[in-house]
Structure 1
Amino acid sequence: MRKRLATAAGALLAAAAAVLAAPSPAQAEASAARGFHVTDGRLVDASGKDVVLRGVNHAHAWYPTRTAQALKDIKALGANSVRVVLATGDRWARNDTADVAAIVAQCKQNRLVCVLEAHDTTGYGEQDGAVPLSRAVDYWVSVKDAVKGQEKYVILNIGNEPYGNGDSGVTPWTAGTKDAIGRMRAAGFEHTLMVDAPNWGQDWSFTMRDHAAEVFAADPAKNTVFSIHMYGVFNTADKVRDYLNRFTSQRLPIVVGEFGDMHSDGDPDEAAIMSTARQLRVGYLGWSWSGNGSGVEYLDMATGFDAARLTAWGRRIFSGPDGIQQTAVEAGVFGAGAPAAGSCAVGYRVTDWGTWFNADVTIRNTGTTAVRGWQLAFAFPDGQQLGQTWNATAVQQGSDVRVANESWTETIPAGGTVSFGFNGSSTGTNGVPAAFALNGSTCAKS
């Protein structure tokens, strides 16, 4: 997310005749065995299934005590991924190996694809204190033990917005990015790597756009994804569509690594960003869950990290048209998550004290395979308000409620059940929800 931008400029993309040196069959097989990898311009998991990121950013580096609950809430709201801000120790307090390992474990527990990014590179060449990509590579090498063996769950975003504007920020991007990728591979990293554009991530100079094929071909593993940050530069649908189409038409993997619904440098067209991402099956990660300052507090999705107090931006990205709840699909790496249609039943029992009530909910898996990781969706019919929840985590938007498992209630065995409960308030009438959906599949009521 950036502070300063120049006006959009740049020449047309040269003919897409750049040769993308495809990985050998042996390389492709090895990548698939490890985890996430790029195939024919698409990000896929170890089984070869497409992975379309639908998630948000969380500023762990500045709010480490908020992370555990934030990831639960982000998952409960329907996201399949989270981009986590880390610090190398050059500008902000370093997130060490143990801390990074804990984040990876929490992402996995919440069945979220974990995109980890080093933030201290932001605006190098213009921002005081920013460090080059080479320092970010040093950091990843220093915390390698935290991510080694996690290639099925973790994507490494080498450095956030690693170059500012002007020649000092634009000209070195291609060589600097290629060098960083090369060093990561030489150090033994087999993960999918993500690289940010220059111009504070917005690539108004089209440097990344015009040199992406060259950078991709330079990766020995052919496993690099490009990330564009869409703020004020991307203020029209035409600009959004043109930029993303330039990548997908060349079969180059692209994600929108950050975007918002407004910004002081201009008003992004978030509707076009989200609809184009859906049409092209391009991933997006909105900025950001909570904790923004320095005049951009409007980018918070949750007020004060409270999932019950979503902002207009939070409601837009989670439940608006082409939003996370409409388009997110959990990554296949997390195994069987969706029950077959009609293979679940939900019991909902209420103890009512007038204006307060307790609800005990039981989910029964009536199918023949276990459900690992679940989200139950329903709507209150009479304006009830959710209170505390136990054995699950829950969020409410209007009348809609989404409940997700805790680690100890994650698996519903074939023929088995899990239970959770909550309390809430009502204004007198306290009807039972009309329907329940488990991971998108409608359940019977029992």
Structure 2
Amino acid sequence: MSNIPKRLRAATTAAAAAALVVAPLTFVATGAHAAEAHVDNPFAGATQYVNPTWSAAVEGAATRVSDPALAAKMRAIKNQPTAVWMDRISAINGNADGNGLKFHLDNAVAQKKAGTPLVFNLVIYDLPGRDCFALASNGELPATDAGLARYKTEYIDPIAALLADPKYQDIRVAAVIEPDSLPNLITNISEPTCQQSAPYYREGVKYALDKLHAIPNVYNYIDAAHSGWLGWDSNAGPAAKLFADVAKTTKAGFASIDGFVTNTANSTPLEEPFLTDSTKQVGSGQVRSAKYYEWNPDFDEIDWTAHLHRLLVAEGFPSTLGMVIDTSRNGWGGPARPTAASTSTTLDTYVDQSRIDKRNHRGAWCNPLGAGIGERPKATPSGYAASHLDAFVWVKPPGESDGASSEIANDQGKRFDRMCDPTFNSPKLAGALTGATPNAPLAGQWFEEQFVTLVKNAYPVIEGGGPVDPTDTTAPTTPSGVTAGAITNTTVALSWTASTDAVGVTGYDVYQGTTRVGTSATTSFTVTGLTANTAYSFTVRAKDAAGNVSSPSTAVSARTTNDTTVPPLDTTAPTAPSGLVAGTVTQNSAAISWTASTDAVGVTGYEIFNGTTSVGTSTTTSFTATGLTAATAYSFTVKAKDAAGNVSAASTALSVTTKPADTVPTGGCSVAYSANSWNSGFTASVRVKNTGTTPLTNWKLTFSFANGQSVQQGWSATWSQSGTAVTATGASWNSTLAPGQSVDIGFNGSHSGTNNAPTAFAVNGAACTNG
């Protein structure tokens, strides 16, 4: 397994044509409103801010392409919400690359609809020593005490002062806190630049959290990299601990963080639809052991958010913690997208033919050629209960560069990173080409060539971009039979009879009065975010690929229900859980997971059984049974339950056998230890070898430090430390060593000036020879 290096997060808002200060059609101006209380999920029931500068850049691109269908696709997304990046001090008041923060906040106030919350996505991105492992996105502030002082007084303080203005109290500000910073301290701490930046990252993030959390309408989301960076257990566990440690240093503790955001400015897929089981055996090994995944069990962001949420809750974060995924560039559509799993029995071939992620390496982060726009921004996406998603968002505005593909002089501190050079075979990618798009400008600047590719390769495919007949000037027929179906106190379900068109209907716009509230590619739509016990009038218009729009349908009226309406008694049990699989199995524990059940009202939890005995409950689709006996078979089933107390039938049983008891090496073991030290840190490499005559199972290495050294994070084993005593336990894939076999493990550590190597080692209690 390798430590995947950082993934770039972009810089500023789009540097495009002159700003076009136009509110999109879905928004109308509004007056002042009473400030609302801080809520659990700021995105729920809310619209999001549409950056008019980015919209103008997209419109400009649409006017320059010669393909009418492609232009239609661009225009179909130009009013999607994107984040505003504050990538340097001058961005606060506005600079040559775009308007300042006040401009955008004032526009957000204008876009906000009365009675409907609006989320303003803001990226805080100017730490001292920023992006210590990527030259393309280095920042203006040095990793020094003076740099930290400027970060606080010239950057965070002015931003906090603007956000605290009562004029903006009704805007929900979702602040993405310092992309890449804390993840770099997990995987790249051996780099001298990251060592120098580390204390300033911790203190800077703490200061930002304290200042912004004090503003009631600000919601802090910490950047948590992505699955291809931190997915390994040896990275994920230390990352969750680091996040918790930083939270504990803030004035409000865990409450200062509302959630975490993953895949910021990256292209890791939301889901790998044809690689759903990382432990599936294909040919010579499990899917996760393929060259592309390097034993990382998290193939996509749904995997990673669920994995990370479990770890964060275990570290003390509340279970209500929300997760956000940047889906701006992880669609991976186009002609290269697989349509089914491979039939190959060769492991690497099977993975390469099945994966939708077509990068040469998961560490290829800069302007990846072939990526596409992903899921459109959406609040509370359904179907991902274990991930606890607050929203899909576009943190990285599509079309903004990750970094220049050649050296470009600038005054922003951004340097040429060979990871952005498409001709470079990078050692960080095991010698593979970077796969970067050529002719790229500086990070954060408009990159139209890449934007064209992103639109072409969008998945889901962008509505409204089919073949265009330039002679088609006939609008579709008017939708008919519009009816209101299921109605709650906040939603109305609408359906209608399909329109017809000489070429083809591409979709429908749904209006509440004169305000468009949504679009649909089908003949149904559910309007959300409504007020209880209120009358509404809805109409529907059909549209075609040429942009022709029908006249509005006959209006249908509906009144939302009253808050006090009592729902009918629920007597229907959830469906039985399915797809039980075993995860990590030890001598005394077994992790299992399953596919979520469905229910007419909603599943509230699961009960897990060993045989007929209940062994625990879970509110997610995973559970770890503990207190088991080594080398013993167990039969697990799961039942789902809902709020009314209905319980499903049991799932199909899953048989799991715990690992055998530890063996003591017969004939001996050897341990080779070496360390590379710098300042107050070091990287240790350890080789454990079975020099005995029988297999060594569930090996556990122990040794002690003599000079107060501390293990920070490790790899290829589970590392722990108590006082001076250190323990490393084999991972699931390397826990058994055949006679003569060895395993290489290691860790990053800290010391106080003296770093003598341990002198004695033992495996499973038996002393080993050195060397």
TM (norm. structure 1) is: 0.53
Segment drifting more, 376-385 vs 388-397? 388-397
Give the C-alpha shift of residue 178 in structure 1: 1.5
1:282-311 CA distances to partner (integer Å, 9 max, x unpaired)?
2242445642445579xx9xx9999xx975
Match of 1:256 among 324, 328, 342: 324
Q: Which has the higher helix share?
A: 1
Code of the residue aligned with 2:474 in structure 1: it is W
2:262 aligned residue (224, 229, 233): 229
2:460 is aligned to 315
Name the counterpart of 2:252. 220
Equivalent residue, structure 2, for 1:193 = 219
Measured in 2, the distance between the counterparts of 1:276 and 1:413 equals: 29
Q: Which runs of 5+ in 1 are unaligned?
A: 9-32, 38-42, 46-50, 319-353, 442-446
- Shift in alpha-carbon separation, 1:139–1:403, aligned structure 2, 3 A: farther
Secondary structure in structure 2 of the residue aligned to 1:266: coil
1:90 to 1:128, Cα distance in 2 relative to 1, 3 A: farther
2:474 pairs with 356, 363, 369, which one? 356
**In structure 2, what is the equivalent of residue 380 of structure 1?**
498
Summarize deviations over 1:366-420 as a string: whole Å, max 9, x none: 99x9999989665736542459999444876755676989xxxx99995563556
Q: TM-score, normalised by structure 2?
A: 0.34
Of residues 114, 122, 133, the one that matches 1:116 is 122
**How is 1:286-435 mapped onto 2 (pairs within 5 angstroms)?**
286-287=393-394, 290-293=398-401, 295=436, 313-315=458-460, 356-357=474-475, 380=498, 382=500, 383-385=504-506, 391-393=514-516, 399=522, 414-415=534-535, 417=537, 419=539, 421=541, 424=544
Cα distance 1:398–1:137, how it changes in 2: closer, same or farther (>3 A)?
same
Cα drift, residue 52 of structure 1:
5.6
Q: Check conservation: 2:517, 2:527, Cα contact below 8 A.
A: yes
* Residue 128 (str. 1) matches residue 138 (str. 2): yes
Maintained 8 Å contact 1:378/1:437:
no
Cα separation, 2, equivalents of 1:315 and 1:440: 32
Residue 278 in structure 1 maps to residue 385 in structure 2: yes
Describe the shift of the 1:193–1:239 C-alpha distance in structure 2 as closer, same or farther (beyond 3 A): closer
Please point out which of 156, 161, 168 is paired with 1:137: 156
Code of the residue aligned with 1:129 in structure 2: it is G
8 Å CA contact 2:508–2:541 kept in 1: the answer is: no
Post-superposition CA distance 1:49-97 (Å, at most 9, x none): xx66999997x496264699x9x977999xxx86444555546435231
Measured after TM superposition, the shift of residue 36 of structure 1 is 2.4
Query: Cα gap change, 1:178/1:416 in structure 2, threshold over 3 Å: closer, same or farther?
Result: closer
Q: CA deviation at 1:209?
A: 1.3
> For residues 335-384 of structure 1, what are the alpha-carbon distances to aligned partners after superposition, in whole Å with 9 as ceiling and x for unaligned?
xxxxxxxxxxxxxxxxxxx98246567999999x9999989665736542
Measure the CA separation in 2 of the matches of 1:291 and 1:148.
Answer: 31
Distance 1:170 1:200 in 2: 20
Give unmatched runs, 5+ long, in structure 2: 8-34, 60-72, 92-96, 142-147, 269-295, 332-356, 366-373, 376-380, 403-435, 439-445, 464-471, 562-771
**C-alpha contact (below 8 Å) 1:154/1:191 kept by paired residues:** yes
Matching of residues 239-250 of structure 1 within 5 Å: 239-249=304-314, 250=317
Of 362, 366, 386, the residue aligned with 1:266 is 362
Deviation at residue 130 of structure 1 after TM alignment: 5.0
Amino acid at match of 1:258: D
Q: Secondary structure at the match of 2:258?
A: strand
- Tell which has more relative contact order, 1 or 2 (C-alpha 8 A, sep 6+): 1
Instruction: Flag the 1:194–1:374 CA change in 2: closer, same or farther, 3 A.
Output: farther
Describe the superposition over 1:145-166 as per-residue Cα deviations: whole angstroms up to 9, x where unpaired.
5576536733333444446733
Q: Could you tell me how far apart the structure 1 residues matched to 2:108 and 2:220 are?
A: 18
Whole-angstrom CA distance in 1 between matches of 2:182 and 2:388: 27
| Residue matched to 1:328 | none
1:181 CA displacement? 1.9
Residue 246 of structure 1 deviates from its aligned partner by 1.1
**Pair 245,404 (structure 1): closer, same or farther in 2 beyond 3 Å:** same
Residue of structure 1 equivalent to 2:107: 102
The residue aligned with 1:321 is none
* Residues 76 and 404 in structure 1, CA contact (< 8 A), matched pair in contact too: no
1:12-91 superposed matches below 5 A: 34-37=36-39, 43-44=40-41, 60=51, 63=54, 65=56, 83-86=83-86, 88-90=88-90
Deviation at 1:6, TM superposition (A): 1.5
Deviations 1:111-138 (A, max 9, x none): 5433322345594334333557635413
Structure 1 stretch displaced more, 243-252 or 162-171: 162-171
CA spacing shift, 1:239–1:117, aligned 2, 3 Å: closer
Shift of 1:210: 0.8
| 1:337 corresponding residue in structure 2 | none
Aligned residue type for 1:241: A
Separation (CA, whole Å) in 1 of partners of 2:165 and 2:55: 17
Instruction: State the one-letter code of the partner of 1:266.
Output: R
CA distance in 2, matches of 1:373, 1:102: 28
Q: How does 1:198-213 map to 2 (within 5 A)?
A: 204=230, 205-206=235-236, 208-213=239-244
Q: 1:400 to 1:289 in 2, by over 3 A?
A: farther
Contact 1:123 1:164 (8 Å CA) reproduced: no
Q: Please report the RMSD computed on the Cα atoms of aligned residues, expressed in angstroms.
A: 6.2
Counterpart check, 1:154 vs 2:157: no
Q: How far apart, in 1, do the equivalents of 2:526 and 2:517 lie?
A: 4
Alignment match, 1:6? 5
Q: Deviation digits for residues 168-200 of structure 1, max 9, x if unmatched?
A: 255544333222222335xx5223432433769
The letter of the residue matching 2:386 is Q
Q: Does 1:182 align with 2:202?
A: no
Using the aligned pairs only, state the percent identity.
11
Distance 2:241 2:122 in 1: 25
2:123 touches 2:176 (CA, 8 Å); kept in 1? Answer: yes
Indicate how the Cα distance of structure 1 residues 317 and 201 shifts in structure 2: closer, same or farther if over 3 A, else same.
farther
8 A Cα contact 2:46 2:117, kept in partner: no
